[in-house]
Amino acid sequence: MVVFDKPKSLADVPLHYCPGCTHGIIHRLVAEAIDELGIEGKTIGVAPVGCSVLAYNYFTCDMVEAAHGRAPAVATGLKRSDPDNHIVFTYQGDGDLASIGMAETVHAAARNENITIIFVNNAIYGMTGGQMAPTSLPGQVTQTSPYGRDTSHCGFPVKVSEMLSQLDGAGYIERVAVNNVKNVRNAKKAIKKAFQNQIDKKGFSLIEVISTCPTNWGMTPEKALEWVEEKMIPYYPLGVYKDRDADNKAE
């Protein structure tokens, strides 16, 4: 009896991610959602620059590479070119989505583009070696804030889910984490719903996934999971920030 299997939407190759990095878990959840919804043949993923730049090696659906920050713009084109037959998702880091790509993110949400965004928030620029990101926490030590992020001159972190939920165009915004089994299960539900929304033509969905970067945080994988629970989740509370469907039903 098979009790555990690899999703078909995930290639059978070793991942390049560091030990304890949660990109691998998030890849799996996206692949499971694609499998369960039976959309592999029509799904196109867009991965820009960042640690997940090689995601095209891991997902078996079609993948397109975007310039840094531009994934929502590329996804918009792919979706609009054949809205009934393309299921399009982006897979973006916080440096990518909330810094260089902020304009694309905000306007894709404002336009209610019928796409699914997987936003991996690990509070740091991973690929380039651990510089401060728009989501780095106050006091967080990074390569460019060696004494800790000082908000008096570095400003404050951007809370993407809270911000986007204020836009009328955004359909579904949820923040999840993958630091324990319960949170991984919730993350799976949210990611699957974000794809289902697109199938149902409900418009823009973004799932923010609180993730780890033990290498650049300078922590063991175990300590990184604790840091998520103790530092990141209190600053970035988990939950549904916008669900147009539920809001409409409540009215």
Ligand X SMILES: Cc1ncc(C[n+]2csc(CCOP(=O)(O)OP(=O)(O)O)c2C)c(N)n1
The amino acid at residue 5 is D
Q: How far is the CB of 81 from ligand X (least distance, A)?
A: 25
- Residue 104 or 243 having the CB closest to ligand X: 104
Residue nearest to ligand X (CB): 93
- Residue 95 or 203 having the CB closest to ligand X: 95
Positions touching ligand X (CB under 6 A) are 49-52, 68, 93-96, 100, 120, 122, 124-128, 133
Sheet architecture: strand order including 239-243: 62-65, 43-47, 87-93, 116-121, 205-210, 172-177, 239-243
Residues 6 or more apart whose CB falls under 8 angstroms from that of 239 comprise 174, 175
| Measured distance CA(160)–CA(176) in Å, rounded | 13
Q: How far is the CB of 145 from ligand X (least distance, A)?
A: 15
- CA 135 vs. chain centroid, Å, equals 13
- Residue 39 or 160 having the CB closest to ligand X: 160
- Residue 69 or 203 having the CB closest to ligand X: 69
Angle between helices 181-199 and 23-37 (to 10 degrees): 40
The amino acid at residue 161 is S
- Residue 8 or 16 having the CB closest to ligand X: 16
CA-closest candidate to residue 95, choices 59, 142, 150, 26: 142
208, two tokens: 């923010």
Q: How far is the CB of 36 from ligand X (least distance, A)?
A: 25
- Residue 193 or 236 having the CB closest to ligand X: 236
Q: How far is the CB of 213 from ligand X (least distance, A)?
A: 6
Q: How far is the CB of 179 from ligand X (least distance, A)?
A: 16
Residues 6 or more apart whose CB falls under 8 angstroms from that of 230 comprise none
Q: How far is the CB of 132 from ligand X (least distance, A)?
A: 10
